[in-house]
Structure 1
Amino acid sequence: MIVSYNLEAVGDTLIIVVAKGNSKEVSVVKKDNVACIIENETDQILGWNIFNASHHITNLNGNGQIELSSSQITELNLTLKEAGFSHEFEVDNSPKFVVGYVHTCTPHEDSDHLTVNDIEVDNGEHLQIVCGAPNIKAGLKVVVAKVGAMMPDGLIIWPGELRGVKSFGMVCSAKELHLPNAPKEKGILELDDSYEVGSRFNLPQ
C-alpha cells in the first residue's frame, strides 16, 4: 500500500492507495470518517481516505509518502473497524527508494534510446527496469524507485511495459527526486562508491 499525508496541501486526510485502476469509473463508499474507493468494472478496492486522520491516528506528519508504524497500523485498522469495514492493513515499511547497482544495460530492441537494465536492489533482488536516460550504463550505482514508491511530484510507480518490455521500477534523476542543486541536464543520478547497494535512499523532507 502507498500511504501519503500532507496537512498543509491536502488537509487532515490520510490517503491510502492499494491498487492501480484501469477504469475511470469508481464508486465511493463512505462511513463516518472513512471512504473506500472501488473500481466499478472489477469491484476492486483502489484506495482509502481517512478524514480527520489525526483524531484517529497519533503522531501523523509528513508532506508526501509516509511510513506507518505498527501502532499506527493498529489505530488505522481500529478506525476502519469502528466505521463498519472489515478490511485490515499490515505493516510494510520496506524501503521504496533504494541504492541499486546496474549489472547489465542492453539496448531495447524496439527503440533507439531506451535500454533494458538488470539492476540489483535490496535483499539481493534483481529488477528489470527500462530506462531512457542517456548516461545509464553497467557498473553504475543509481537510485531506484521500486514499485509502490511515490515520487515527490505525486507520481506512483507501478509495474509497467515500454514498447513490449516489462519494467518494474524507475531509475531516478536528481531533479525527479527534488534534490537541491539538481543539474538541468537530462540523466539519472550517478552515486559514488560510498553508497551501499540495497540501502535506503532518503529523500529530502
Structure 2
Amino acid sequence: MNLFYNPQGVGDVAFLQIEPVEGNLEYQQHGDVISITKDGRIVGFNFFNVNDIDFNGNGHIKLNESIIKGLQQKIDDAQINYKLDTDLSPSFVVGYVIEKEKHPNADKLSIVKVDVGDDTLQIVCGAPNIDKAQKVVVAKVGAVMPSGMVIKNAELRGVASSGMICSMKELNLPDAPQEKGIMVLSNDYEIGAPFFKE
C-alpha cells in the first residue's frame, strides 16, 4: 500500500495505491473520496480536502497508524464499505539467504530462499554474486524503489518471485559500484531488521 501527496504540484489531493494494477480502471465519486476499482475490486482511492491529516511530508508518504486512521475515517464518512488493511512493517529489510538453486529455465537467474525474520521469501535473482549464507537487503512486495518502481509479486520464466534483492545502485546509495551485483552485508546486521533507519 503506497500513499502519495504533493500539495504544491497537485493540490490538496492524496492518492492511496492499494494494489498496483494496469489496464482499464473504473472511478466512482463519493463526496471527497473517489474509489478506484479493477474487475470489481478496490485497488486505490483519491482523497480530496485532506489537509486535516498530518502527512508529515511531500511526495511518497510513509504510512503510520495516525494516517491510516484518518484515511479510514474519510472512507467511512463517504459510506464506502472498505477497511484499510496495511502492513506498517519496514519495506526494506535485512535478509539471510538460506538456499540457492539454479533457475531451470534461465542460465543467468538463481532461485533463492531468504529469511527476512518473520517470513521466508522465494526470490528469483539475476545478480552474479548471489550466494547461500549471505546477508542481503530485501525489498519486500509493496516497497517503492528510489526509481519509483513498485515491487510486486511476479513470475520470472515460470518461477514465482516475492520481493527483490537489492544492489547499492538500486537503493541509490552513495559510491555505489557500477558493476552488476547485489549488496552483501556484514554479519553484524540483524536478520529482519529494517535496512533504512528512521
TM-score by length of 2: 0.89
Aligned residues of 2:20 and 2:150 also touching (Cα < 8 A): no
1:44 aligns with 2:41: yes
1:142 aligns with 2:148: no
CA distance in 1, matches of 2:83, 2:173: 35
Hey, what does 1:26 align to over in structure 2?
25
Deviation per residue, 1:91-126 (Å, 9 max, x gap):
531122100011111111111100000111022x21
Hey, what does 2:195 align to over in structure 1?
201
From 81, 105, 119, the counterpart of 2:100: 105
CA distance in 2, matches of 1:192, 1:14: 39
Hey, what does 2:148 align to over in structure 1?
154
Unmatched runs of 5 consecutive residues or more in structure 2 = none
Aligned Cα root-mean-square deviation (Å) = 2.1
Deviation per residue, 1:131-171 (Å, 9 max, x gap):
00111111111100111211122211111111111111110
| Aligned residues with identical type, % of pairs | 40
CA distance in 2, matches of 1:24, 1:117: 31
Aligned residues of 2:3 and 2:17 also touching (Cα < 8 A): yes
Q: How many residues align?
A: 198
The alpha carbon displacement at 1:81 in A equals 2.1
The alpha carbon displacement at 1:61 in A equals 1.6
Q: Match for 2:117: what amino acid?
A: D
CA distance in 2, matches of 1:111, 1:141: 24
Q: 1:26 to 1:91 in 2, by over 3 A?
A: closer
- Which structure dedicates a bigger proportion of its chain to helix? 1
1:84 aligns with 2:109: no
Unmatched runs of 5 consecutive residues or more in structure 1 = none
TM-score by length of 1: 0.86
Does the residue aligned with 1:179 lie in a helix, a strand or coil?
A: coil
